[in-house]
Amino acid sequence: MKRTLLNFKTLTTTFLTISLITSCSSDDTGINTETETETETETGEESRWITVAATKMGDEAGDGNGGTLIYSITSDEAKDPSVSISPFENGFTAPSNRTARLQSSEDGSTIFNISYAGDTGGTYTKYIVEGGQTFTQSGTEVSIEPYVGTAPRWIKLFDGDQTGAAVYVSTENEISDNGTELDTSDDYYVRTNATISVVTLDLENSLINNFQEHSVPLSDEEEALGYYISRIDMPVLNDAGDKLYIGARLSKLDPETTETESDYEILGSKTIVLDYPSLLNPSVITSTVGHGNTNGYRSINAFLYDGSVYQANQSDPEGSYILKIDADNEYDDSYVFNLDDALGVEGAYILAWRPATNGKAVIAYRHDGSEEGVAGAQGFFALADLNAKTATKIDAIPYDADFYLFQYQGFVVDGTEIYVTEAPVGQNGNIYVIDTETGEVTKGAELINEEGSHFIGTF
């Protein structure tokens, strides 16, 4: 009993100390922000919120299963290496059972979240960014779970923060009884039917706009071999705003046994094209340049620039490509931008990327030469030029074997500047601001890390 009392005491003291520190520091930030906002209005200089996202370790270093934390500072603070922030001590835990997939408004004033898994999986919430750990929920909640399940793959479309789109695919094998219903010995595999669902969400009013489902076939030859669409993600609008592109991953089964295969020929990269906003008339387009998946992972994988959509692919045997889909809604196979070639490495794999308005992009990648860190392959940042099809590793950012970008999600684009976070698993790091125009890299605010945890970007 004595022990317990002591524990309570220690706890209480710790709690009080922490809350004192926290309240002090958040007050400080609050004051700073206000003064800056005021000066901003007077001088007309632009400052915006930068929300830093970090993910806490569950029980394995780098697993990111212990919750997603966010913390906001102004862009001026973000660029100031004397500022240091510590989301694991005083951030805000995004309400999601597993790693949240966050999105932010283009000006950084609002964070959009759809809870991933758990009782509220699929529930959309919106938060007004007010600095520090203060994120004030605004508007009503709405759930897309009935349409795309509790673990939705969703993305905010680039239409002025109006719309979010989430997708889901379910598959079913079609087996023919060969005309003999009773004799099952001559049954054979015909194809695997993939049914995709797409839901669009009015982010402003928390309402569901539209929902459609379609069976999306591949070519007869591909289907006969057992190929099918097994995962879809990363919807993006075309320039005209009349088509929605959805990235896809293909899998293959053995038609003889209907069991999943593991070592098979990777087909040309594919994208599903739908009419927008009706979400009707699905078709599949195939690249002859890239091979591999176009569904990304947790970070937006396809962007509109200069009238075309640029899309990264993953698991390409030749290393990741950036593919181009033109205004005619077809792959531009004359556009060849291979990251292996551009960087002079083998097995480049784009983990996340983001172009600025000038066609220059920051790419988070790993390659075959990456060191194996605590949580997987070491990651790097590169500065790429979509027009020149060139890419250079950014050497001004320090790299560590434990610097791991697989779960990386967010880049803030502020004009031609791109904000990234760099912190190896379990080590402190910094925000870096890359001037895509000049290639100049500014070391910004310090990121205080925690054992086994890492930072997953800016919003």
Binding to another protein (CB under 8 A): which residues in 371-430? Answer: 374-377, 404, 406, 426
Residues 6+ apart with CB under 8 A from 126: 110, 111, 112, 113, 137, 138, 139, 203, 206
353 counts as binding another protein under rule CB under 8 A: no
Q: E-assigned strands of 295-416?
A: 302-305, 308-312, 321-325, 337-338, 349-355, 360-366, 372-373, 376-377, 380-385, 390-393, 412-414
Interacting span for another protein (CB under 8 A) from 218-226, 235-243, 338-346, 368-376: 368-376
C-alpha to C-alpha distance for 457 and 438, rounded to whole angstroms: 22
Q: DSSP state, 141?
A: E
The size of the interface with another protein (CB under 8 A), counted in residues, is: 92
Of 159 and 213, nearer to another protein (C-beta) is 213
Q: Report the residue from 32, 109, 162, 173 that binds another protein according to the rule CB under 8 A.
A: 173
The binding track of 264-303 with respect to another protein, each residue x by CB under 8 A or -, is -----------------------------x---x------
6 counts as binding another protein under rule CB under 8 A: no
**Cβ atoms of residues 179 and 185 within 8 Å:** no
Of 55 and 436, nearer to another protein (C-beta) is 55
Question: Among residue numbers 329 through 348, which ones bind another protein (CB under 8 A)?
Answer: none
Sign of CA dihedral 453, 441, 433, 435: negative
Q: How far is the CB of 54 from another protein (least distance, A)?
A: 11
Q: How far is the CB of 370 from another protein (least distance, A)?
A: 9
Q: Report the residue from 234, 351, 361, 382 that binds another protein according to the rule CB under 8 A.
A: 351
452 counts as binding another protein under rule CB under 8 A: yes
Q: What's the N-to-C CA distance of the chain in angstroms?
A: 48
Sign of CA dihedral 366, 99, 127, 42: negative
C-alpha to C-alpha distance for 283 and 97, rounded to whole angstroms: 34
Residues 6+ apart with CB under 8 A from 425: 61, 62, 373, 374, 375, 402, 403, 404, 452, 453, 454
Q: How far is the CB of 342 from another protein (least distance, A)?
A: 19
57: helix, coil or strand?
Answer: coil
Interacting span for another protein (CB under 8 A) from 27-35, 103-111, 194-202, 281-289: 194-202
Interacting span for another protein (CB under 8 A) from 102-110, 142-150, 387-395, 430-438: 142-150
Of 30 and 426, nearer to another protein (C-beta) is 426
Question: Among residue numbers 121 through 140, which ones bind another protein (CB under 8 A)?
Answer: 121-123, 133-135, 140
149 counts as binding another protein under rule CB under 8 A: yes
C-alpha to C-alpha distance for 42 and 328, rounded to whole angstroms: 46
Of 207 and 388, nearer to another protein (C-beta) is 207
Q: How far is the CB of 357 from another protein (least distance, A)?
A: 28
Q: How far is the CB of 122 from another protein (least distance, A)?
A: 7
Q: How far is the CB of 442 from another protein (least distance, A)?
A: 28
- C-alpha distances out from residue 131 to 9, 74, 385, 410, Å: 32, 8, 33, 18
Of 89 and 417, nearer to another protein (C-beta) is 89
Q: How far is the CB of 268 from another protein (least distance, A)?
A: 16
- The residue written with tokens 């913390």 in the block is 71
C-alpha to C-alpha distance for 30 and 448, rounded to whole angstroms: 20
- The residue written with tokens 């009015």 in the block is 202
Question: Among residue numbers 209 through 268, which ones bind another protein (CB under 8 A)?
Answer: 209-211, 213, 249, 254, 256-262
Question: Among residue numbers 59 through 98, which ones bind another protein (CB under 8 A)?
Answer: 59-63, 66-67, 69, 87-95, 97
188 counts as binding another protein under rule CB under 8 A: yes
Residue whose C-alpha is closest to residue 268's, from 181, 348, 331: 331
Of 356 and 424, nearer to another protein (C-beta) is 424
Q: How far is the CB of 145 from another protein (least distance, A)?
A: 6
Of 5 and 44, nearer to another protein (C-beta) is 5
Question: Among residue numbers 18 through 37, which ones bind another protein (CB under 8 A)?
Answer: 18-19, 21-22
Cα 10–Cα 13–Cα 17 angle in degrees, nearest 5: 135
Q: How far is CA 28 from the centre of its chain?
A: 32
Of 294 and 308, nearer to another protein (C-beta) is 294
**Cβ atoms of residues 234 and 247 within 8 Å:** yes
